[in-house]
């Protein structure tokens, strides 16, 4: 598979009530096809978040949007464009960061979390100093992060995120 230049194809998800910003790295091929976050069926993101709030796993994109906004979360990705092979975070080069200022200016974001090491790497490299805000790395919900079971992910994510929503 050849490395290609890709531009983020869909907007962030947030509203003025959002309190916690969760940043992925860059949408997978499946997410780009669906035009929404965490579209790969093996990604555990859409199983972890509902578990934190005692809800059923959402199926449709509108249900996913509702879950995020109802719990005062915001979703976006660190990377606006890059060269990437398929969905491989390890292949990402020539990165341009997303502008997080509209989210940070439009909502009272109390904490920023990066879903995995790649998001954190690019946040620290391209955004942290500009924004003057630290982010916290969470274990990736990607199926590539097989050493983290769903219960471990849910516990770690809950311990990090839930205190910022109270």
Q: Does 102 score more than 90 pLDDT?
A: yes
Residue 12 is predicted with a pLDDT of 98
Averaged over 130-152, what is the pLDDT? Answer: 95
Here the tokens at position 130 are: 């500009």
Tell me what pLDDT residue 48 has: 98
Q: Per residue, what are the HEC states of 28-92?
A: CHHHHHHCCCCCCCCCCHHHHHHHHCCCCCCCCHHHHHHHHHHCCEEEEECEEEEEECCCCHHHC
Position 140 pLDDT exceeds 90: yes
Confidence of residue 126 (pLDDT cuts 50, 70, 90): very high
Predicted pLDDT of residue 131: 96
Domain ranges of the chain: 4-165
Contact 80, 98 (CB under 8 A): yes
Is a pLDDT exceeding 90 seen at residue 1?
A: no
- Residues near 141 by beta carbon (within 8 Å), at least 6 away in sequence: 38, 43, 44, 45, 48, 115, 116, 153
pLDDT score of 144 more than 90: no
Tell me the C-alpha to C-alpha distance, in Å, between residue 147 and each of 107, 152, 160, 163.
34, 9, 19, 25
Q: What pTM does this model have?
A: 0.97
Q: Taking 90 as the threshold, does the pLDDT of residue 166 lie above it?
A: no
pLDDT at residue 163 tops 90:
yes
What single-letter DSSP state applies at residue 13? B
Q: Is the pLDDT of residue 117 over 90?
A: yes
Share of the chain above pLDDT 70, in %: 100
Question: What mean pLDDT comes out for the span 52-78?
Answer: 97
Determine the average pLDDT of the residues in 7-11: 97
Say yes or no: domain 4-165 is CATH 3.40.630.10: no
The predicted model gives 108-132 an average pLDDT of: 97
């Amino acid at each position: 598979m050849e490395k290609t230049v890709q531009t983020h194809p869909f907007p962030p998800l947030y509203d003025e009530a959002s309190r916690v910003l969760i940043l992925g790295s860059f949408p997978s091929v499946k997410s780009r096809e669906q035009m929404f976050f965490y579209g790969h069926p093996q990604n555990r993101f859409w199983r972890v978040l509902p578990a934190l709030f005692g809800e059923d796993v959402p199926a449709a994109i509108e249900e996913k949007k509702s879950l995020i906004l109802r719990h005062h979360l915001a979703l976006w990705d660190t990377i606006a464009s890059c060269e990437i092979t398929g969905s491989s975070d390890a292949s990402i080069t020539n990165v341009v960061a997303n502008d997080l200022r509209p989210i940070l200016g439009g909502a009272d974001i109390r904490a920023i979390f990066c879903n995995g090491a790649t998001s954190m790497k690019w946040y620290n490299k391209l955004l942290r100093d500009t924004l003057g805000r630290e982010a916290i790395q969470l274990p990736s919900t990607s199926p590539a992060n097989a050493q983290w079971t769903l219960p471990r992910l849910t516990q770690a994510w809950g311990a990090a995120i839930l205190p910022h929503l109270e």
